[in-house]
Structure 1
Amino acid sequence: MEAIIANTEKQINDAFFVRKEVFVKEQQVPEEEEIDHLEDTSEHIVIYDGSQPVGAGRWRFKDGYAKLERICVMKSHRSLGVGAIIMQALEKAAAARGASAFILNAQTQAVPFYEKQGYHVTSGEEFLDAGIPHLEMVKDNKQ
């Protein structure tokens, strides 16, 4: 597995492909909500298994944090460590630009995965995003 910062149109389209497969087709998120106005101001990561894109995520700065978003893994590659590879790649890319604290909105069912990556739930309450329950989580590398 290889994590790539998406710099070419093909790599960005590969990231969008994975996101559409997972979020739009599998989780029924409307495509107009999945692909949004923040795409051009975010840095995208795509994970390849050979030449096949199998995972994706993006990050951007927001309110002093690196906000990690749209983290997903193709069904065929779940439980193979791809999610951890995405998280490491996103955090490394953000840290290279000066980030030391990270925030994300986790689907509630994925909270245990993010906890294993060093994140903890903030004091915020559960909320719906695209009809899916989420919790805000943070990680501060300064600790």
Structure 2
Amino acid sequence: MEVTIGKSAELIEKAQAIRYQVFTVEQNIPSELDLDGLDSVSEHALVMEVERPVATARLVTNTDGSSVMARVAVLDAYRGCGIASVVVKALMEHANQKGVRSIEIHAHGYLRSYYERFGFEFIQEVEVVGEHQLIEMRHQLVRA
């Protein structure tokens, strides 16, 4: 399993294909909500399994040192194998190496305890997207 982080058009295209399958097809979230115009300014993590893109997430870093992790998605056939944790950890490590101070995420409410294991803290319930209640969580990165 290989994780690549970058901004190339090819990487973004593969990430968007995974997100389309997971968010639009499976979760009935309109694709225009996923394609919010931030892909070109984001760094994307892409997990490849035997040359097949299977998981993705993106990180937007703000000028104030904060960041937003979003669009965490794993293809159905690869769920339950720990791949989501691989992509989340890879982006968190990347953010830390870049000197990011905090990572915010808007996650499905049922994933609260999952993200708490990575050190994210619940802030509040936020918007409903499609039929999914999202929650805001934040992780303060520790400086060595």
TM-score norm. by structure 1 comes to: 0.90
Deviates more, 1:108-117 or 1:1-10: 1-10
1:39-74 Cα offsets, whole Å, 9 max, x none, are 111111111111011100001124642210001111
Alignment check: 8 A CA contact 1:33 1:130 kept: no
Partner of 2:47 in structure 1? 47
Give 1:7 shift: 4.0
Q: Does the 8 A contact of 2:7 with 2:42 survive in 1?
A: no
Answer yes or no: is 1:5 the counterpart of 2:1.
no
Tell me what 1:93 maps to.
94
Partner of 1:108: 109
Percent identity reads: 26
Q: Secondary structure at the match of 2:142?
A: coil
The two structures, once aligned, show a CA RMSD in angstroms of 1.7
| 1:12–1:125 CA distance, 2 compared to 1 (3 A) | closer
Listed one character per residue, the Cα deviations across residues 99-135 of structure 1 (whole Å, up to 9, x for unaligned) are 132110011121121112221201x234313442011
Q: Structure 2 counterpart of 1:118, which letter?
A: G
Give the conservation status (yes or no) of the 8 Å contact 2:125–2:133: no
Q: Do the aligned residues in 2 keep the contact of 1:65 with 1:99 (CA within 8 Å)? A: yes
Gaps in structure 2 of 5+ consecutive residues = none
1:134 is aligned to 134
Equivalent runs, 1:57-96 vs 2, <5 Å: 57-62=57-62, 64-96=65-97
8 Å CA contact 2:108–2:133 kept in 1: the answer is: yes
- Cα distance in structure 2, aligned partners of 1:5 and 1:58: 9
Gaps of 5+ in 1: none
In structure 2, relative to structure 1, the CA distance for the partners of 1:126 and 1:66 (3 Å cut) is closer
Correspondence for 1:120: 121
CA distance in 2, matches of 1:125, 1:36: 21
Asked if structure 2 preserves the Cα contact closer than 8 Å seen for 1:4 and 1:45, the reply is yes
What is the number of equivalent residue pairs in this alignment? 142
Aligned equivalents of 1:125, 1:35: Cα separation in 2 = 22
